[in-house]
Every structure is written in structure tokens, then in C-alpha cells.
Amino acid sequence: MRTSPRVGVFGLLGSGNLGNDGSLEAVLGYLRAEHPDAVVDALCGGPEAVTAKFGIPATRLHWNRAEYRTASRAGAIAAKGLGKLVDVFRTAAWVRRHDVVIVPGMGVLEATLPLRPWGFPYSLFLLCASGRLLRTRVALVSVGAAEIRNRPTRALVRWSARLAAYRSYRDAQSRDAMRAMGVNTARDEVYPDLAFSLPTPPASTPTGTPGPVCLGVMDFHGGNDDRARADEIYRRYLDGTIRFVRALVEEGRPVRLLTGDQCDLSVVAAILDAVDSPLVSAAEPASLADLMNEMAAADTVVAVRYHNLICALKTGTPVLALCYAAKSDALMDRMGLGAYCHPAREVDADRLLEQFRDLEKHSAELRQTLTERNRAAAQQLAHQFAALTATLFPTTDHAHAHAHREAP
């Protein structure tokens, strides 16, 4: 008798990062379309938010509720240590209940933002090790990766990848990085980010007169290797961004501030405080769909966060990227906008304005390029979902579903 597959989804989901939740939305869309009988639940950072937003049961990722708070007192440090031990058994017990666990997108194999080895890298290692020991297939789907210098983090990430039953990456640089860290990637494929499979709102029709500019901001302090100059990087990024906004306002351009994570709200507040103008407003997006709706109505987008860039590209809106990692440069290059990248660590407002004006000058042809590249991305992701079905789910189920669809 055929039973419904038990599928788990895993990651820092429901924790306020819109990109992570967008990746989950894309995988749930695939499961509901291709495996409607699958029983799905999550092990994640924000279980209440995931259940409320996506309607699936969810379990808290960490036993210790204070996992992401800095521990200074002896009791808090002891609780963190105990939590790491308890999570070994909690993770294994959760994995055991599933046939398949999917890690949907996200930069789970990178440390391009500040990251401690005993945080998420440790949790991911527990997941993949449990999957291998308990014969539950773990799939890392369209994930991001980057070479990691910190030895403990590097080791945990490398072993997590090795123990997974399926790996695919959202760009070639990610696959190259895992190969450089000692993972055999000969059978691993590269596909676009999962967010490219989400529904797209209709784009606005350009009026021929200068219209609104969306500015996606980020609470940016550099990456894992920049801790010593994190404050300097943040100040330079913020000062350059404020100068850029002031220049747009002086030209009479409406500027709409967008976030991609709850922590970005402090940057929004700093810009609104520094540029006191009715032309500057802030949105409160609750999903990638909200972000795409904002961007579809804009003439142009300037953004930092990776999934803010994807939202702009997906709506066909010309975008200038403030890049903080190679993944952003790779994304822009793949979508035909490689010339419109600016370093987030060294924001030069004058140079940024030059690039922005050049972007707007070529807006019509860039919109056509994005239409073509988005069509190709959708086709590639359809191929990825077919590969997932063939790899992760029993062949008999796939054959049964295919036969049902082909029946007259």
C-alpha cells in the first residue's frame, strides 16, 4: 500500500528574513503541485511564524530559547552548552520521522555575514549527520556556498555537504567553493535561486518621466572576516547611502526604502532621520511578494540584500547592486546586469550616482534582457524540481503521478 511521503523543511525560517521565507514558499509550491499528498512540517528558527504564514506544523530549531543572545553569565553559558547536547537528540528524533528533509535555498554553506561555528553550521551538521545515520534523505536545494577561512566553521560546513544525499547550488561560484573545500561536486548541478519560481506581479508601464526609486537597505557591517572593522564598514555604507538618497531627493525623485530582514529597520530609521523630506518613505514588506509589488511599481531599484536583488530582477525592473559577496556579482552577471555592481564596503556616492544614471539611460533594453533571462530561469527551475522528484521520492510514486497526468 502506498503511503504519503513525510517531508521536513529545515532552516532559519520564520525568523524575519524575507529571502529565507521566500525560498520556503517556493519549495512548498513545488510540493503542493507535484506531491500534494506529502505530509510536511518544519524544524526552524521561528516556528510560530512559519505555522501562521504557511499553515504547516513547525518545531523550534534550538532547545535553548536564548540561542542567539550573547551569553556572559555562567548560567547562560551553561544553558548554551547543554542546549548543544540536547539538540543532538532533538534533531535526530525529528529527522527520524521523515522520509525526506529539504533545506530550501538560503546561504547555508557560506559565511559572508558574521557567523559562529556553533550556531547554524552546527545545526546543519546535526541535520545531515542524522540523515545519513537514520537513512533519511537530506537535500540541499539551490543553496549558496562560499569558501570559509574559520577552521571549525569550514569543517562543519564541509561535512554537512558531504553527508547530504542531494546538493544543488544557486550559482557556479558556490559549487566551486565547495569543491575547493574538499567536497566531491561531480554530480552536483547549478540552478537559479528558488525565488525565481515564485509568482511575479505585473510590471508597471514606464511613463517616460522620472518615477520612483526603490532602495533596498541592509544593516551591513561586513562579513565574517571583517569583524575588526565592522563599525567602519557600516558607517561608510550608511554615509554613502544617505548622500545618494539626498541627491535623488534634490532631483525631485521619490525614494521608497525597503528592507529584507527585521534588523534592517535601524538603517531605515537612520536614513529617514538624516533626509527629512516627504519624497522619502518606507515600506513594511512582510514577504517577497510584497517586495516584488513595490519594485514592480518603481522605475529603478538599488539594493544590497541578495533576495532584494532577485525581487527586482524577477519583476524586470532595472537594478543597481551594492554587492557584499561574490554571489551578488554572479547573480547580476547571469541576469545581464553585470556592469551595474557597486561595492557595499566602499560606497562612493558620486560613482553610485553615475552608475545609476547610466542604468536609467539603458532601462528599456535592460528590461528586455531581464524578460529573456527570467524565462530561462523558470525553465531551469522546472528541470530542478523534476530532478528532485526523481532523486528524493520513490520512483513508483513519480510513475503513478505521471501516468495519472497522461491518462486521457
At 112-154, the pLDDT tens digits run 766 788 889 999 999 999 999 999 999 999 999 999 988 999 9
Report how far residue 47's alpha carbon sits from residue 44's, in angstroms, rounded to the nearest whole number: 6
Nearest to 108 by CA among 122, 97, 129: 122
Report how far residue 315's alpha carbon sits from residue 153's, in angstroms, rounded to the nearest whole number: 36
> Does the pLDDT value for residue 282 go beyond 80?
yes
- The pLDDT assigned to 201 comes to 87
Query: Is residue 259 a contact partner of residue 291, using CB atoms and an 8 Å limit?
Result: no
> Does the pLDDT value for residue 228 go beyond 90?
no
pLDDT tens digits, one per residue of 364-397 = 999 999 999 999 999 999 999 999 999 998 654 4
- Give, in degrees to the nearest 5, the angle at Cα 117 between 112 and 120: 75
- The pLDDT assigned to 408 comes to 33
> Does the pLDDT value for residue 362 go beyond 90?
yes
pLDDT tens digits, one per residue of 151-165 = 999 999 999 999 999
- The pLDDT assigned to 127 comes to 97
Q: Pull the grid cell for residue 299.
A: 522605475
Measured from the Cβ of residue 403, the count of other Cβ atoms closer than 10 Å reads 9
Q: What is the mean pLDDT of residues 355-368?
A: 96
Q: Pull the grid cell for residue 71.
A: 551569553
Domains of the chain with CATH codes: 6-198+376-406 (3.40.50.2000), 213-361 (3.40.50.2000)
> Does the pLDDT value for residue 10 go beyond 70?
yes
Query: Is residue 48 a contact partner of residue 219, using CB atoms and an 8 Å limit?
Result: no
Banded model confidence at residue 399, pLDDT cuts 50, 70, 90: very low
Query: Is residue 322 a contact partner of residue 309, using CB atoms and an 8 Å limit?
Result: no
- The pLDDT assigned to 84 comes to 87
Strand partners, 102: 9, 139
* 81-90, 258-267, 321-330: least confident range: 81-90
- The pLDDT assigned to 401 comes to 39
Q: What is the mean pLDDT of residues 344-354?
A: 95
* 65-74, 125-134, 136-145, 247-256: least confident range: 65-74
> Does the pLDDT value for residue 95 go beyond 90?
yes
Report how far residue 380's alpha carbon sits from residue 157's, in angstroms, rounded to the nearest whole number: 26
Q: Pull the grid cell for residue 99.
A: 522520509
SS3 317: coil
For the chain, the residue count is 408
| Sheet strands side by side (includes 213-216) | 280-282, 255-258, 213-216, 300-303, 319-323, 341-343
Tell me the average pLDDT of the chain.
90
